Amino acid sequence: MTYYQDSYAEAMNKYGLQRGIKGSEARHITTQQYYRDLHYQNENLKENIEVLQEQKEEAKEELSQIKSEIKTEKLKSSAVDVATSAIEGIGSMFGSSKVKKQQQEIENLQSENAELQTEIQTMKNQIQMKEKEHTTAMEKLRQELDKIYSLFPKIKEMLRIENLCRHLGFEKALISEIFKMKPVGFSGKLYSSEYRRDFETEYSVAEIKPLLSDPDKLQLTIDGISDTSWFRQKHKEFLEKIGVKVKPEIQQKRGVKM
């Protein structure tokens, strides 16, 4: 059989037929088995082709998506470049006119602000200097007044009475007459701080008198009594006029003589 296979292989070599391997353990299969195996291989090949086809389609989809993303990024980049170019173009267009004008206005305002700050600081220094001078002058005046008051005690009292007369409502001309230290007749309204209202008189007499207990002290009298007593009496007359009875203890508490 070996010789037969060798001689047959030599005779058929020119047709491309090769002899089997000597000593091989391979066994001869039937034609039916051969075609059956060939069919199985063909089916496996089809399955592999379908798998490869699916992988190809997936690869196409992924490639398409990647291309789309690349295109989008390019468009974005292009848009940014266009916007940048436009801004740069606008900036270069107005750089020599509007922007420079605004910059010049800003610099002018900054310069004016610096000048104003300098002026404000100068004014502050002047105000501080004036305040210091005013404080010094007031202190000197106060010292002079203290000397005058110590030498002429009644001057301070006269100033107090003058302020009281103005507060009560006496006119300037009437105050000058009162300060002649003589009785002065008058009529009209006087204001009371105690009752916060005006009291009217048809005729009264005002006069400045020294206190009996202290000759250096002065008091304003109206109708022979102090201004405080006069207003309390007028208030009592007002209450009686409107029908309000004032209890004696209240009268005594207010110091009104009955």
φ, ψ of residue 152 to 5 degrees: the values are: -130, 80
Per DSSP, 181 falls in state: S
With a pLDDT cut of 90, the percent of the chain lying above it is: 24
Residues in the chain: 258
Could you give the C-alpha distances from 5 to 26, 104, 168, in angstroms and in order?
15, 110, 160
Least confident of 24-33, 172-181, 183-192, 201-210: 24-33
Q: What's the pLDDT tens digit per position in 10-50?
A: 766 666 666 666 666 656 566 666 556 656 666 666 666 67
Give the strands of the sheet with 218-222, arranged side by side: 184-192, 197-210, 218-222, 225-226
Which pTM does this prediction carry?
0.43
Residue 177 has which token pair?
Answer: 């007459």
